[in-house]
Structure formats: structure tokens, C-alpha cells
Amino acid sequence: MTPSAVEETPGSGPITPPGVTSGLFAPVVVALALVSALFTFLILMGLTPIVPTHEVVIGLLAGNAFAIAVLSTMVGREVWRIARARARGRAAARLHVRIVSLFAIVAVVPAILVAVVASLTLDRGLDRWFSIRTREIVASAVQVAQTYVREHALAIRGDALAMSADLSRLKPLYEQEPERFRQVLTAQAALRNLPGSMLIRHDLSVVERAQVNSGREFVVPANIAINDATPDQPIIYLPNEADFVGALVKLRDYDDLYLYVARPIDPRVIGYLKTTRETLADYESLEQRRFGVQVAFALMYGVITLIVLLSAVWLGINFSKWLVAPIRRLISAANHVAAGNLDVQVPIYRSEGDLAALGETFNK
């Protein structure tokens, strides 16, 4: 009698050679999902030129959610097939279920550990960012820069009052010898390091200007509160981004005449002040959005973990198929022998490696 290859018998199911799949769709989906998870992780860690803005995070969540939906469908389909095979009493179905369960456990435990560690790490990291000491450091940087500017403001206030007192005593000189008065004004400005010194009217028109060569031209700010200036209470002008500080004081005994003085300050300090203010604003904004940041990172970590988990389960299912296939063929062949067919042969596939030796031994 000619030996016959093992065929499907009740409880055994069809025999398919290893490596034969329904196509490349599933492996490609798994590969793309893992690449998406890796790409998301790199963006969140700031390791790419892409800034993780709100729109970018939403896009990543949507893309990864789609990948999870496809992976869940694939894994659910395979699990349903395994459950149906076991319910029908297919050969080696219980072994198949045990192997898949083992792979699932091996995949789930590290995923849960990674998620827990990531959450704790993020929470501890945010606690360190928003600690009282960190906030004090950020706030003190702004305070130092503001103190520097305020010191200049106090200094120019005193100089403006002193210069105003000197010029108030020179009204006769102002009316009778304008040229000599201009020389005195220039000398006062040079002595007090006030290159932006000038006499102005209420309409901000310039009457006299100190002839100090400072390499720049000072102008009276259009928004200065000239109505609030008195002989005893100068108006201090502290622009947010300009590299100078100014003061305006009304001259005593003069008719509609004001002294405006300006002194340059280090532009680097203004730059530092602007930067520290922006940093403090960003810090406070981030502190207000702390819970949202934690939720966003938790979602992203959960999505990445779920993708890795589903991919591992899918790989485990396919590996278990490859592992169980030769055992299933042996069980099917044994059923044939039990039925009286002693010429049955088990198909041998060299790609199975050592597992193929089981079939060779049976065929002998």
C-alpha cells in the first residue's frame, strides 16, 4: 500500500505548512504601529526637530489610536479563531491556548511595569520642576533684573531733582543768555551722565537740548504722563524693552517748561529681563497646565504601551501557530493510525528545524 500523507480528520483541523499566511498585511501593520510608537516617543522626548505642540500631540494620539484599533481587530480575530478551535476540540488547541496565554503574560507584565514607572517618573519630575525652591529661583532671576532697573530709576530720579534745582536758579541766564544756558545744561548733563537731557514744553516740543555726544539720539516718549510731573515728584519712565531709563520733572519758576533726562542702561540687562519675564510666564502657564500635561503624557505612554503589547501578543500568536503546527500534524497522524491507517505519513517542513524531526521519527 502506498503511504498517504496525513489529511484533516475530525478534531484535527486543516494542515497548513508553516510560513503560509494570508498575506503581508498583518506584518506590515505591526511594523508600522511599532514605528509610530517609536516616532511618538522620540517627539515627546524632544529628540526630533518637531515641537510637541497641542496640535502635534492630538495628531499623534489620533494616528496611534487608529493603529491600536487595527491591531486590536487583528488580535481579536486570531483569539476568536483559537477559541473556536478549542471549542471544536481541534488537535493541540489547548496547547495553543496555553502558549498564547504565556506570551500574553510575558508581554503584559513588562508593559504594566513600564507604564507604572513612567507615570511615577513623570510625577516626580513635575514635582521637582514645580517645587517651591525652583519657583523661587525662577522668580528671583526676574527680581534681580528688575532690581537693577529700579536702581537706575532711583538714581535718575535723584539726578533729575538735583539738576532741576540747579536750572531753576538759572532762569535769568535762560532768558538773557541762551547760549551760556545751553552750555550749563550740557555741562550738567555730562557731569551727571545724562546724555538725553532736554527742556520741553507741555506739547513735548524741544526748547533746548544738551550737546552731549553719546552716539545716539534720545527722543521724548510720546506716551509719557507729562500732566503728572511736578517740581517735587518726577515721572520715571521705564520702558519694557528700550535700553534707557528716563525722568521728567517740571521746572520751578519757569512758564510751561519741563526737564526731561534719559540715561542708557546695559542692553544685555534688558535682554535678560525680557527673557526672565518670558521664562516666568511660561513657567506659570505650565504650572497651571500641570494636570493636563500629566494626562497627555499618561495617554501617550498608555498608547505606546498598548501598541507594544498588542504587537507582542500578535507575534506570540503567530509563533505559537508555528510551534503547534508540527504537533498538530502528529496528533492528526496518530488519529489516522488509531483508525487503522498504518501507511499515513506526516508532511515534513525543513523550516521547522528540530520540530521537523518529530515527523521524521514518526514516518520511520
User: Residue 17: what pLDDT?
Assistant: 43
User: Residue 8: what pLDDT?
Assistant: 44
- Distance in angstroms (rounded) separating the CA atoms of residues 361 and 126: 63
User: Residue 161: what pLDDT?
Assistant: 92
Q: Judge whether 141 lies within some domain.
A: no
User: Residue 11: what pLDDT?
Assistant: 41
Q: Judge whether 143 lies within some domain.
A: no
Q: Are residues 304 and 261 in the same domain?
A: no
DSSP per position, 26-80: HHHHHHHHHHHHHHHHHHHTT-SSS---HHHHHHHHHHHHHHHHHHHHHHHHHHH
Q: Are residues 194 and 298 in the same domain?
A: no
Choosing from 276, 300, 319, the residue where a domain stops is 276
Among residues 30, 39, 40, 12, the alpha carbon closest in space to that of 75 is found at 30
The CATH code of the domain that includes 208 is 3.30.450
The β-bridge partners of 261 are: 247
For residue 346, CA distances in Å to 63, 85, 102, 162 come to 46, 21, 28, 111
Q: Which residues contact 356 (CB under 8 A, 6 or more apart)?
A: 326, 348, 349, 350
pTM of the predicted model, to two decimals?
A: 0.49
Q: Are residues 8 and 50 in the same domain?
A: yes
Choosing from 253, 276, 299, the residue where a domain stops is 276
* 252: exposed, middle or buried (Cβ count in 10 Å: 0-12, 13-18, 19+): middle
Alpha helix (H) ranges present in the chain? 25-44, 54-87, 93-129, 132-168, 171-176, 178-191, 267-288, 290-338, 356-363
Q: Are residues 297 and 268 in the same domain?
A: no
Q: Judge whether 132 lies within some domain.
A: no
Q: What is the pLDDT along the chain (364 residues), one digit of tens a residue?
A: 445 555 444 444 444 444 444 457 878 888 888 888 888 878 877 788 887 777 888 888 888 889 888 888 888 888 888 778 777 766 566 777 777 777 778 777 877 777 777 667 666 665 555 555 666 666 676 777 777 777 888 888 999 999 999 998 898 898 899 899 999 999 999 888 898 899 999 888 999 988 887 777 788 888 888 888 899 989 888 766 667 888 999 998 888 899 999 988 877 777 777 777 777 777 777 667 666 666 777 777 778 778 878 888 888 788 777 777 777 777 777 777 777 776 677 677 666 666 666 666 666 6
- Region class of 107: left (phi > 0), else alpha (psi between -120 and 50), else beta: alpha
User: Residue 75: what pLDDT?
Assistant: 84
Q: Are residues 25 and 104 in the same domain?
A: yes
Q: Judge whether 155 lies within some domain.
A: yes
Range of the domain at 252: 149-276
Q: Are residues 179 and 229 in the same domain?
A: yes
- Distance in angstroms (rounded) separating the CA atoms of residues 149 and 213: 24
User: Residue 250: what pLDDT?
Assistant: 93
Q: Judge whether 325 lies within some domain.
A: yes
Q: Are residues 260 and 302 in the same domain?
A: no
Q: Are residues 86 and 155 in the same domain?
A: no
How many residues make up the chain in this entry? 364
Choosing from 244, 276, 308, the residue where a domain stops is 276
Q: Judge whether 47 lies within some domain.
A: yes
Could you tell me where the beta strands, DSSP code E, fall in 189-251? Answer: 198-200, 206-209, 235-237, 244-250
Count CB-CB contacts under 10 A for residue 69. 10
Q: Are residues 254 and 298 in the same domain?
A: no
When divided into structural domains, the chain yields a total of 2
User: Residue 28: what pLDDT?
Assistant: 86
Q: Are residues 93 and 44 in the same domain?
A: yes
Among residues 40, 105, 45, the alpha carbon closest in space to that of 66 is found at 40
Amino acid of residue 182:
R
Q: Are residues 16 and 88 in the same domain?
A: yes
DSSP per position, 133-162: HHHHHHHHHHHHHHHHHHHHHHHHHHHHHH
Q: Judge whether 284 lies within some domain.
A: no
User: Residue 325: what pLDDT?
Assistant: 73
Q: Are residues 17 and 74 in the same domain?
A: yes
Q: Judge whether 94 lies within some domain.
A: yes
